[in-house]
Amino acid sequence: MKILSLIAILPFVISCRSQEIIDLANLKLNEPIEQISRFDDQLLIGVETVEYPFSLLLEVEKSQRYSFDGIDLTGQRIIFQINSETLKTDSITRLGGGHIDLNPAKTSVELEHALKKYAATDRIYGVRIELKTQELKASILKKLSERYGKGTKNPNTDNGVYWNIKPQNKFIFYAPDYNRLIILNNAELSKTCYWDIMNGLIDFGGCDNEKYMADLLKNATKPEDVKDKPTLKIDKNWNINSLIIGETTEEEFTQSPMNNRFERMTEIDGTSGKTNEIYYQDNYHDLYCYFSPNKSDPENPTRNTITGYAINDFRKVNISFGNSLKPGLKFEEVLKLLDKLNIAYQPVDFANYIEIKTSSNTVTLNFNEDMLFSGMFVK
């Protein structure tokens, strides 16, 4: 009878566990990942440099299991930060502009694979909470003020406020201008400085900005020092390594010498489930190729055609051009060369890029902070 009784209540126990509400306000932010997330939620793990470039991110989409001091967070995106030595000290992805590389984590095996890939710990040290509505922003600010007092005005934003809770080793950043509440365990962070895109540089007292940024970037691989640089040849029609834009198939690309260390990615429409785009990424060399999926048979590589490519940093590749362009040319030199070649381009006043319209696509030539030719995008 006892065994039967136990079997009878077991589904109830499992159901209660699966519906357990996690109050993010009460986390110490050193919890194991599997303690604060469930694989029956939609989990994505990886890199999103605009959100925060110096840690691995675990995003939880559309979960119903989170709250903040009693406030229901259903429908809000929850993003946990995980310490990653690779991203903190030896990543080059963050130096090439906005970069997103998030992959599903549906099982513990997939989660462990991602942690090993980025040399990351199995514990969180921060959480970033999306605040979609004005009502939620007001409720969150009220709770924070009740708990921690008025806070300090963030001088870098219109409405931001932050708290340095020393007894709990916590930084709290209320950033309503960017729809975020960010809470960090600062035990292993700088105690005088903090920076991210949504808050700017925060000086908690005695911040040495140059030293702080240098520490964040210590041991970072210089782009020019990456290994096994691919050799790329761009012809006069902006095709790459004999791959013809609009004609070459995905199968032909995968069989070409260029396909060395690319990873295939698929962009899915969340509403219809249809494949929007297929692309191949080589994050290490900041090199990407884009394909248009066949509407009726998107998984047939013989029917998907290449639509463009991106080379974000010429220092990470060996590149040559069939029209006399060269990496490192000054902005004015490129303009003169285009005029000489009778290549029409868009007005470029006050811009750090040049757009060239062709019959089938747009070629964007990018220039770095010194206005030297540094990358390109064709699509």
pLDDT per residue over 5-44, tens digit each? 443 444 444 334 446 899 999 999 999 999 999 998 999 9
Q: In this predicted model, what pLDDT tens digit does every residue of 297-317 receive, in sequence order?
A: 999 999 999 999 999 999 999
The model's pTM is: 0.60
CA distance 210 to 164: 21
CB 203 within 8 A of CB 192: yes
User: Once rounded to an integer, what is the mean pLDDT over residues 273-296?
Assistant: 89
Amino acid at 270: G
Instruction: State how beta strands 42-48 and 71-72 pair.
Output: unpaired
Contacts of 368 (CB under 8 A, 6+ apart): 352, 374
The candidate with the shortest Cα–Cα distance to 130, out of 196, 189, 78, 72, is 78
Q: Which residues pair with 79 in a beta bridge?
A: 59, 128
User: Once rounded to an integer, what is the mean pLDDT over residues 127-151?
Assistant: 96
Instruction: State how beta strands 71-72 and 362-367 pair.
Output: unpaired
Instruction: State how beta strands 78-84 and 161-165 pair.
Output: unpaired
User: Once rounded to an integer, what is the mean pLDDT over residues 328-340?
Assistant: 94
DSSP 224-262: GG-SSPPEEEE-TTS-BTTBPTTT-BHHHHHTSTT-SS-
**For residue 102, how far is the Cα from the chain centroid?**
7
Q: Give me the percent of the chain exceeding a pLDDT of 90.
A: 68
CB 173 within 8 A of CB 156: no
Amino acid at 108: S
CA distance 78 to 60: 5
